[in-house]
Every structure is written in C-alpha cells, then in structure tokens.
Structure 1
Amino acid sequence: MRMTQTFVPVLKENPSEAQIVSHQLMLRAGLVRQTAAGIYAWLPLGFRVLQKIENIVRAEQDRAGAAELLMPTVQAADLWRKSGRYDAYGPEMLRLQDRHGRDMLYGPTNEEMLTDLFLSSATSYRDLPKMFYHIQWKFRDERRPRFGVMRGREFLMKDAYSFDLDEDGMRVSYNKQFQAYLRTFAALGLKAVPVRAPSGPIGGDLSHEFHVLADTGESAIFYDAALEDISIDDPDAVAKLSATYAMEEEEHEKVMDCPVPQERLLKRRGIEVGHIFAFGTKYTQSMGFTVQGRDGTQVHPLMGSYGVGVSRLMGAVIEACHDESGIVWPEQIAPYRVGIINLRQGDAGCDSLCDTIYERLTNAGVEVLYDDRDERGGAKFAGMDLIGLPWQLIVGPKGVSAGTVEVKNRRTGERTDLSLEDALEKVAG
C-alpha cells in the first residue's frame, strides 16, 4: 500500500486526552480516532492489526475444538430475565426498546443467548460435550471510559462457552481454554500470567484472569517464577498450572501464609486481557434446561465461559512493545512487515528504485507500506518509527548512485547498507 492511497493521520504531539502510552501512540500513529466517549473508529492501519490479532485468537480457538458461530449484538431482555441477570447486571448494560416497546439490550456477553440456542436442541448426554465461540462487538456503559481501547465502552471480544455433563468434563473444557489462552498470548509475542480471580456478575467459583506483563501495567501481581518454565503445549502441565498460585497485590496482602517460597515469588505489573469462568449449572438451572444423563435421569449441563478482549489486546501489545520513538510491533501482527522510505520523492532514480522494491516485495507476498508522500526525510523517518513496522528500506540519491539500499531493523535499531538483492532477501523473511 502507498501512503498516498491510504489514510494514516500521524500526530507530532501527544493528545491531551491520552493518559497512557498505548492510547497516546494509537492516536499519534493514526490507528484509531474517538467518535464518542469510549467509542473508536478503527482506521486502516489499526484495523489491519485488529484483524491479525483476531485471526490468531481464532486459530487457537479452532485448535481447542471450539466451533465458531456469530450471535447478534442486540438481545431480547426476556432471556436475561429468565436467568435473573437483567436487573442484577447493573448500569453498565445498555438497555433500549424497539418500536413496539419490547425491552432489548446491547449485549455485554452471551451466556443466556447461547444457552438458549444450544440447549433448546440438545436432548441427551450424546450431545455433550460442546464448545462454541464467536468474535463480536460488545458494549458496556462504563461510568468513566478512559485509557483508549483499554477501557472503552464498545470493544471487540472473543467469548467462548462450554457445555459438559459433569464436573470432570467441565474441568477438561476449562483447561482446554486455559491452554488456548496461553498459546494465544505466546503467538502474539507476549508473556502472560494466569491470576486467580473473582467471578463477578458472571458467577461461579473457578475463575482466572490473564495478565500480560508490561512495566506500564495497571495491576501489580505476584506469581511463582516456576510458571515461566511450564510448557504450554503439555496438557498435564497446563492442568497443574490452572491450580497454581498467582494473585493481584490487593489479594496477596490478605494472604497470611503464602504457599510460594520467597525466593520464587515474583512481583510484576500486568494488564488484564482475558478472563475465564467455570460456573456449573448457574444458567442451565435458572433457565430450565436439562438433558438425559447416561443413567436416564435428567441433569443440568455444566457450563463455562471464556472471554478475551481482542481490541484491548492491541493496547496491551503496545504497552509491552514500544520505545521512545513509537510502537515496536511484533512481526506477526504488524500492519505491514516492511516500510519503504523515499528520501527524494520526484527524483527519477529514487522513484524508480522504490517502485521496483515495492513491486517485487508485493509480488512475493510481503506486506509493504511505501511512504511516497512529498515530505521531508525527517518527517518520514519519524513517522515510520512511530508506526513501528519491523523493517524499513531507506532509498536516497547516495544509495541509488552506490547501488545500495539502507535496511533498518526497527526493534534493534541496526542499520545496514546492502545491495538490492540482499536487502530484499533480508526483509522478506
């Protein structure tokens, strides 16, 4: 993509309303723009990153055996009255009426809807276990939306739901999702710690939050250093991990007898990006759903729900991956892999070489952003560093004369003059 063909409204200064690094950089790099309090439009670069994060989340849900579907954003209030949550959920729920005066709501989550969709057709133990997920926009009317996409009112979430016949099956499903979450964060280039957590309005006794480690994180957490050595590809190790000690600072201070030896106890800052729950028969019982068990009796299936903030993850990645010049994207979710900087737009030699590089990389399937604007070189350097693409190819008159291209690695800052062929090979991956 050429810069002159897309929309990347970069800003030189931090906007006054942005209080944390990710919000500042998302606005400055032209990834998002606020359209109302806590509601954002995703501009071309930001939308590309959002889609890549979504695809990584989707791949790990598929791998865990969950079937993807898509549920509507607007739900009937009667479903929530059936479960008892309509009045209990609180002012964060956006309530509305349709033209016929029927009570509706903009869904903050989907336990009731999927319970009704699936269990109205399930009849016996042969229909279980099942696991479903969808990736859909949610709305929660935060009293004080802040920190950009980290605490917005509208957000993209992956929510999954499991249905099992008994407690053992529910634990198996829970651990599959637990493992899928660890794999998701690893695939994003992030280190995440599972933290025991209260269930809140979702309900249930078994619950974990997942915190991405970042120096600018909102929460202080304590955890066992041994967590960092557990293989996330080993189901038995993951099952053990889901029972391992880790908690936020406020909870840690309440615990008089810490089970982790002091020499293994680590304290870091983290950003919550996911929350999973196993709540048993809370919804199937309240909504009157049963299936025939193996012994012929009617039983209420046991459920779990598993949420991860897809849009919030982008903010978390930036909090963990930035420097004084801007964002430093992990390669797997960068909006483009390579940025081309033309230092002398309008110069025949520079234009020709940049066009050649752009065409060859594009034809090779490499995602390229070509800064072909009529701007000063300094502005192009600053803008490309701010956007944070993994590689930069810098073309100027001196390099054209010498037959070289300057290659810059955004993460390390290393800059090397290479021949065209070597430069293309280096950035193509």
Structure 2
Amino acid sequence: MRLSQSLIPTLKETPAEAQIASHRLMLRAGLVRQMASGIYAWLPAGLRVLNKISAIVREEQAAAGAQELLMPTIQSADLWRESGRYEAYGKEMLRITDRHERDLLYGPTNEEMITSIMRESVKSYRELPQNLYHIQWKFRDEVRPRFGVLRGREFLMKDGYGFDLDYAGALLTYKKMMLAYMRTFQRIGITAIPMRADTGQIGGDLSHEFHILAPTGESGVFYDATFEAGDPAAAADVETFYEQMTTIYAATDEKHDLAAWEKIPDERRREGRGIEVGQIFYFGKKYSESMNFTVTGHDGTKIFPEMGSYGIGVSRLAGAIIEARHDEAGIIWPDAIAPFRAAILNLRQGDAATDKICNELHEKLGADCLYDDREERAGAKFAEADLMGHPWQIIAGPRGAANGQVELKRRATGERLELSVADALAKVMS
C-alpha cells in the first residue's frame, strides 16, 4: 500500500483529551478517531490490527474445537427477563424500545441468546458437548468512559460459550479454553498471566482473568516469575498445563493472599500493574436452569447442561498492547499484529535507482507493507514510521541504491543493518 494514497491521518500534536499512552498513540498514529464519548471509528490501519488479532483468535479457537457463529447485536429483553438479568444488570445496559413498543437492548454479552439458540437446536445428550463463539461488537454504557479503547462504551469482543453434560466435561472445556487463550496471547506476542477472579455479572464460582503487564494497568498484580518462563505451545496435555497454571501463584490486588505470597522465594516475586484482556468463567447450570434448557440423558431423564463462557477483548487488546509496548517515539507492535509488517521509506523520491528498489520491494512484500512514497523530508518519514510502530523499516536512498543496498531497521531494538535488497527481503519475510 502506498502511503500517498492511504487514509492514515497521523497527528504531530497530542490531542488534549488523551490521558494515557495508548490513547495518545492510537490517535496520533491514525488508528482511530472518536465519534462520541467512548465510541471510536477504526480507521484502515487500526482495522488491520483488529483483523490480525481476530485471525489468531479464530485459528486457536478452531484448534481447540470451537465453532464460530455470529449472533445479532440487538437482543430481545424477554430473553434477559427469563434469566433474571434484565433488571439486575443495571444502567450499563443500553435499553431500546422499537416502533412496536417491544423492549430490546444492545447486547453487552450473549449468555441468554446462545442458551436460547441451543435450547431450540439441541435435544439429546448425543449432541453435547458443544463449544461456540463469535467475534462481535458489544455496548456497555460506562458511566465515565476513559482511557480510549481500554474503557470505551462500544468494543469488539470474542465471546465463547461451552455446553457440557456434566461438571467434569465443563471443567475440561474450561481447561481447554485456558490453554487456547494462553496460546493465543503467545502468538500475538505478549505475556498474559491468568489470575483467579470474581465472576461479576456473569455469575458462577470459577473464573480467571488474563492480565498483561503495563504501568498504567488498573489492577495491581502479584505473581511468581515462573510464569515468565512458561511455553503454552509446548504443553504436553491440557490437564498438566492447567495444573501448572493454577498452582503457580498469581493474583490481582483484590485476590492477593499475603500468606501464600510470603511462601514464594524473594527472587521469584514480581509486582506490577495489569490490564485485563480476557476472562473465562464456569457457571454451571445458572442459565440452562433459569431458561429451562434441557437435553434428554442416557436414561431418558432431563438434564440441564453445564455451561461456561470465554471472552477476549479484541479492541481492548490493541490498546493494552500499546500500553505495554511503546517508547517516546511511538508504538512498538509485535510482528504478528502490526498494521504493516514493514515500511519502505524512499528518501529521494524521483531518483531512478531509489525508486526502482522501492518499487521492487513494494511488489515483493505485497499488502503487508506500507510504502512511504510521499514528497516529504527524511526526518518526517523516520518519525512517522517510529510513531506507527512498523516492526521493520526498509530505508532506501541514492547512496545505497547505487550499490543495490538498503538500510534495515528493527523497530523494537533500534538495530540497523546495511543489506542487499535480497537479504533485506529475506530477513523481513522470515
């Protein structure tokens, strides 16, 4: 993609309303624009980040046996009355009345709707277990939206729902989802620590939050450094992995156990701030019983399926990653989710040799690179490339181009190499 033809409206000045790094940098790098309080338009570069995160989520959910569907954002209030949550949920729920005076709502979550779908579709124990998910926009009417996309009112979320015949099956689904989530975060390029959590509005008695470390995190976190050496991709089996994850100490300040903390050797204790980017819940028969969803068991008796729900904040992740990975110059994206894997910086637009090299690089790198072909001074191009956080910058100027060489910069480390065009391509594409 050529920058001269792209909608990437970067800003030199920091908007006054932006209080934290991710908000400032998302606005300055042209990823989002605020349309109303807590509501953002995702511009082309920002949408590329959401799509890349979503693609990794989908691949890991498929590997864990989950099926994707898509439920509507607008829900009937009657479903929520069945579960008893319509009045209890509070003012965060945006309630709507249509022209026929029917009560509707803009869904903050989908436990009721997925239970209704399953109630109409699944009748026998032979059809369980089922694990379903979607990636969908939600709305929660936060009393004080702040911190950009970290606490907005509209947000993109992956929410999944497991249905099992008994507690053992539901617990196995829970364990599979914990492993799938850890692999998802690992592939994205971040360390997320699972911490025992309250279940809140969802209900139930077993839940873990996944936190990534960032100085501006809303929660204090305490954890054993053993987590930092973990490798979810190398897990031998889901049972062993779950036991390891739940026996290593990790807690937010709300759940912090000082006695357990003091048993950890001093050199392994870690404290900091965390941003929640996902949460998993087991809540048993809470919704199947309240909404009268049963299946026929082996012996003909009626069984209320055991349920759990599994969420990842896709749009929240984008902001949280920036909070964890930035410097004074701008964003430092992980390779897997950067809007563009590489930026090509043409330092002498109109120079035949430089233009030729840049066009060749642009053609071979394809849609995952951004070619800065603007008539702009070199310093401005360097500053915008650092601001946008491209993992690689391929810098081409007349001196190097005359020898068939370019300069390759790694954004995360600042390392610079003089390489041939072929070697630079190989390093970027590897």
Q: TM-score, normalised by structure 2?
A: 0.95
Q: Is the 8 A contact 2:341 2:369 kept in 1?
A: yes
Distance of aligned partners of 1:389 and 1:231 in 2 relative to their CA distance in 1, 3 Å threshold: closer
2-side partners of 1:2 and 1:124: how far apart? Answer: 55
2-side partners of 1:293 and 1:143: how far apart? Answer: 45
CA distances 1:121-170 after superposition (whole Å, capped 9, x unpaired): 22221111111000000000001111111111000000000011111111
Q: Is the 8 A contact 1:125 1:165 kept in 2?
A: yes
Q: TM-score, normalised by structure 1?
A: 0.95
Distance of aligned partners of 1:371 and 1:81 in 2 relative to their CA distance in 1, 3 Å threshold: same
CA distances 1:291-313 after superposition (whole Å, capped 9, x unpaired): 12223321211100011100111
1:140 and 2:140 correspond = yes
CA drift of 1:19 comes to 1.0
SS in 1 for 2:333: coil
Distance of aligned partners of 1:257 and 1:378 in 2 relative to their CA distance in 1, 3 Å threshold: closer
CA drift of 1:271 comes to 0.8
1:341 and 2:345 correspond = yes
Q: Is the 8 A contact 2:408 2:419 kept in 1?
A: yes
2-side partners of 1:312 and 1:141: how far apart? Answer: 16
Correspondence for 2:183: 183
1:240 and 2:235 correspond = no
Q: 2:399 corresponds to which letter in structure 1?
A: K
Q: Is the 8 A contact 2:196 2:255 kept in 1?
A: no
2-side partners of 1:382 and 1:425: how far apart? Answer: 25
Q: 2:80 corresponds to which letter in structure 1?
A: W
CA drift of 1:265 comes to 3.3
Compute the RMSD of aligned alpha carbons.
1.7
CA drift of 1:399 comes to 2.0
Q: 1:21 corresponds to which letter in structure 2?
A: A
1-side partners of 2:73 and 2:263: how far apart? Answer: 43
SS in 2 for 1:109: coil
Tell me the percent identity: 61
Correspondence for 1:412: 413
Q: 183-192 or 229-238: which moved more?
A: 229-238
1:390 and 2:391 correspond = yes
Q: Is the 8 A contact 2:159 2:311 kept in 1?
A: yes
CA distances 1:364-398 after superposition (whole Å, capped 9, x unpaired): xx721100111111101100111111111111222
Correspondence for 2:310: 306
Distance of aligned partners of 1:166 and 1:403 in 2 relative to their CA distance in 1, 3 Å threshold: closer
Correspondence for 1:372: 373
CA drift of 1:230 comes to 4.5
SS in 2 for 1:339: strand
Q: 164-173 or 290-299: which moved more?
A: 290-299
Correspondence for 1:400: 401
SS in 2 for 1:267: strand
2-side partners of 1:46 and 1:152: how far apart? Answer: 15
SS in 2 for 1:209: strand
2-side partners of 1:224 and 1:419: how far apart? Answer: 45
Correspondence for 1:100: 100
Q: Is the 8 A contact 1:178 1:238 kept in 2?
A: no
SS in 1 for 2:246: coil
CA drift of 1:351 comes to 2.3
Correspondence for 1:322: 326
Q: 1:190 corresponds to which letter in structure 2?
A: I
Q: How does 1:127-166 map to 2 (within 5 A)?
A: 127-166=127-166
SS in 2 for 1:50: helix
2-side partners of 1:416 and 1:258: how far apart? Answer: 45
Correspondence for 2:122: 122
SS in 1 for 2:419: strand
CA drift of 1:246 comes to 2.1
CA distances 1:381-422 after superposition (whole Å, capped 9, x unpaired): 100111111111111222233432111111121112222232
Correspondence for 2:3: 3
Q: 1:424 corresponds to which letter in structure 2?
A: L
2-side partners of 1:184 and 1:209: how far apart? Answer: 14
Distance of aligned partners of 1:229 and 1:412 in 2 relative to their CA distance in 1, 3 Å threshold: closer
Correspondence for 1:203: 203
Q: Is the 8 A contact 2:197 2:255 kept in 1?
A: no
* Structure 2, unaligned runs of 5 or more: none
SS in 2 for 1:252: coil
* Structure 1, unaligned runs of 5 or more: none
1-side partners of 2:26 and 2:18: how far apart? Answer: 10
Correspondence for 1:421: 422
Distance of aligned partners of 1:353 and 1:266 in 2 relative to their CA distance in 1, 3 Å threshold: closer
2-side partners of 1:22 and 1:104: how far apart? Answer: 34
Q: Is the 8 A contact 2:175 2:239 kept in 1?
A: no
Q: 1:282 corresponds to which letter in structure 2?
A: K
SS in 2 for 1:306: strand
2-side partners of 1:321 and 1:223: how far apart? Answer: 20
Correspondence for 1:265: 269
2-side partners of 1:260 and 1:168: how far apart? Answer: 31
CA distances 1:169-211 after superposition (whole Å, capped 9, x unpaired): 1100110111111111101111111111111111000011100
